[in-house]
Structure 1
Amino acid sequence: MAPLTALAMPILRRLEAERAHRLAMIGIRLGLATENRKAEPKSLATTVAGMEFKNPIGLAAGFDKNAVGLRALMRMGFGFVEAGTVTLRPQPGNPHPRLFRLPEDGAVINRMGFNNAGVEPFAKRLNTRRVVPVGANLGLNKEGGDAERDYAALLTLVAPVADYVVVNVSSPNTPGLRDLQGEARLRAILDAMRVAVPDAPPIFVKLAPDLSDAGLEAVVEAALDAGIAGLILTNTTLSRPPTLRGAAAGETGGLSGRPLFQLSTAMLARAYLLTRGRLALIGVGGVTTGEEALTKIRAGADLVQIYTAFTYEGPAVIARIKRDLAQLLKAEGMTRVSQAVGTDAARLAKGT
Structure 2
Amino acid sequence: MPNLATTFLDLPLNNPLMNASGVWCSVGSQLEALQESEAGAMVTKSCTLQPRDGNPEPRYRVLNGDKPWGSINSMGLPNEGFAYYLRYTERHDYESKPLFISISGLTLDDNLAMIDSLKDAVTPAILEINLSCPNVPGKAQLGYDFDAMDTLLAEVTSGYGQRALGVKLPPYFDIAHFDEAAAILNRYPSVAFVTCINSIGNALAIDIDSESVIIKPKDGFGGLGGDYVLPTALANVNAFYRRCPEKAIIGCGGVKSGQEAFMHILAGATLVQMGTALYEEGPSIFGRVKAELSEIMEKKGYSSLSQFHGKLKTL
- Under a length normalisation based on structure 2, what TM-score does the superposition of the two structures give? 0.87
1:213 to 154, 175, 181: 175
SS in 2 for 1:96: coil
Deviation (angstroms), 1:42 = 6.0
User: Is structure 2 residue 129 aligned with structure 1 residue 167?
Assistant: yes
C-alpha separation in 1, matches of 2:173 and 2:55: 24
Aligned-pair distance for 1:240? Answer: 4.8
Question: Runs (4+) of structure 1 moved beyond 6 Å?
Answer: 244-247
Partner of 2:184: 222
Identity of aligned residues (%): 25
Task: Say whether residues 1:132 and 2:82 are aligned partners.
Answer: no
**Using the alignment, how far apart are the partners of 1:49 and 1:171 within structure 2?**
25
Q: CA RMSD in A?
A: 2.5
SS, match of residue 61 in structure 1? coil
Q: Deviations over 1:95-119 (max 9, x none)?
A: 2221112243332211111111211
Larger RCO, structures 1/2 (Cα 8 Å, 6+ apart): 2
Structure 1 residue corresponding to 2:76, chosen from 101, 104, 113: 113
Aligned residue among 202, 216, 239 for 1:270: 239
CA contact 2:134–2:202 (8 Å) conserved in 1: no
What is the correspondence of 1:254-293 to structure 2 with a 5 Å cutoff?
254-275=223-244, 277-293=245-261
Match of 1:235 in 2: 198
TM-score calculated relative to the size of structure 1 = 0.78
Cα distance between partner residues in 2 of 1:254 and 1:345: 30
Distance 1:173 1:46, change over 3 A: same
Report whether the alignment pairs 1:151 with 2:111: yes
Consecutive unaligned residues of structure 2, counting only runs of 5 or more, are none
1:325 to 293, 303, 309: 293
Q: How many residues in Structure 1 have an aligned counterpart in Structure 2?
A: 300
Deviations 1:219-270 (CA, angstroms, capped at 9, x unpaired) = 212211111111111000136599x999849931101111111111122112
* Residue 26 of structure 2 is aligned to residue 81 of structure 1: no
1:269–1:299 Cα contact (<8 Å) kept: yes
1:130-158 Cα distance to aligned partner (Å, 9 max, x none): 211111111123xxxx22x2222212223
Contact 1:140–1:150 (CA under 8 A) maintained in structure 2:
yes
Of Structure 1 and Structure 2, the greater strand share is in: 2
3-state SS, counterpart of residue 125 of structure 1: helix
Letter in 2 for 1:82: V
Greater fraction helix: 1
* Aligned CA distance change for structure 1 residues 240 and 90 (closer, same or farther; 3 Å): closer
Contact 2:128–2:165 (8 Å) recurs in 1: yes
C-alpha distance in structure 2 between counterparts of 1:126 and 1:67, whole Å: 10
Distance (Å, rounded) in 2 between the aligned partners of 1:284 and 1:220: 18
1 CA distance for matches of 2:86 and 2:178?
31
Gap runs ≥5 in structure 1: 1-40, 348-352
Matched residues in 2 for 1:321 and 1:286: separation? Answer: 13
> 2:182 & 2:208 partners in 1: Cα distance?
35
Q: Equivalent residue of 1:132, what SS?
A: coil
